[in-house]
Amino acid sequence: MIKQQRWKKVEYTKRQINDAGDIIRKEDATAEEVSDAITVIDNWRASHAFPLHVMYIHLRRMAQSCPNALVVERLKRLDSIIGKLKRESGMDLWRMQDLGGCRVIVPTITDVYRFIEKYQKSSIRHEYKRTYDYIKNPKKSGYRSVHLVYKYHSDKSEDYNQNMLIELQFRTHLQHIWATALETMGLFTKQALKAGQGDAHIKRFFVLVSSLFAMREECPVIPGTLADEKEIVSEIEQINDQYHVLETLNAIRIALNHEEDVKIDRKGYYLLILNYNTHRLRIRTYQPSQFEQANIDYTQIEKNRHASGIDAVLVRATSFSELKSAYPNYFADIGEFYDMVTEYLK
């Protein structure tokens, strides 16, 4: 007998889901109200796992003909969902587009647009919603990537035809190491740098480096910076001399530490648990049929993350090496970013 995955289904109405998001924003919400709201949010998030999986498998098949393409999937962290709801007061939880996300990492800019075109011309039934091209129009934060948003659709079953939005991210390796270095810095300094919060000098440092990388890829630089390598490098040097950003990054460049008895070479789900006080990473692995248990464990850890000083993410990849390449921020493998910036300063 073949064990089949037990996929979560939506247990709440559109109104209940949006109400849960509104409760999270309330400053005077009771602990019981917040707990009930998180239960609803977690179910809505977990219900995206099957639509996400369908798109992930399709992208994996396509990647077989694209050398050096890397594809992974992830459900959005609960903390990130809550943060987004609080930052964006007009955001309905029902229409949040990145609860489920697939990331495709390829070597070059040409590969990004070639893969996107190939996907859009492939046999998909999902409803295309919108494209955000942050390569041609980079964010002020320095973030560069292309996002495609699709609403899942199935002709065979209506179970998941409920506004399940999935975000597909396409980025180059250079864009990827920038984004993960930023997230690593945010994790260890406990600042929401990805959300545009935190120390101004750290944010400016990453904006400048992103412009350097954009020039390297012959793409538009970040708004608020000059397309002049010498000027950019000079400003990076000034910031680094005063605030020692590179030294901080180098200090949190830690070696992977995982439990010896954990098998990390099988296909399935990986729960990465990073303690940023002890700089220790634990890895739990689950077979594809154990998704329900993986999500239960993920939710439990997230509920206690602030008290225990940890961060966690539940992802799927076909191998451990692929996982480490796609989520280097959870392994603090930011050496390539550090070396590249250091080389510019030399």
Please, which residues have CB within 8 angstroms of residue 130's CB and are 6 or more apart in sequence?
Answer: 148, 149
pTM above the 0.75 mark?
yes
**How much is the pLDDT for 6?**
72
User: Residue 324's pLDDT is what?
Assistant: 65
Handedness of CA 244, 245, 250, 254 (dihedral sign): positive
Which stretch of DSSP H or E encloses residue 159? none
For the chain, domain boundaries: 14-345
Pairwise CA distance, residues 268 & 279, whole Å: 25
What does the pLDDT read at residue 262? 46
91 secondary structure, DSSP code: -
List the chain pLDDT tens, one digit each, 346 residues: 344 457 889 999 999 999 999 999 998 999 999 999 999 999 999 999 999 999 999 999 999 888 789 998 889 988 889 989 998 888 899 999 999 999 999 999 999 999 999 999 998 999 999 999 999 999 999 999 999 999 999 998 899 999 999 999 999 999 999 998 998 888 767 677 887 888 999 999 999 999 999 999 999 999 999 999 999 999 999 999 998 888 878 766 654 344 433 455 556 788 878 776 666 777 888 887 787 888 888 888 877 766 666 777 777 776 666 666 666 655 656 788 999 999 999 8
Confidence at residue 104, expressed as pLDDT on a 0 to 100 scale: 96
Domain 14-345 grouped into CATH 3.30.460.10 = yes
**DSSP codes, 21-73:** HHHHH-TT--HHHHHHHHHHHHHHHHTTHHHHHHHHHHHHHHHTTSTT-EEEE
pLDDT at 305: 65
pLDDT at res. 4: 47
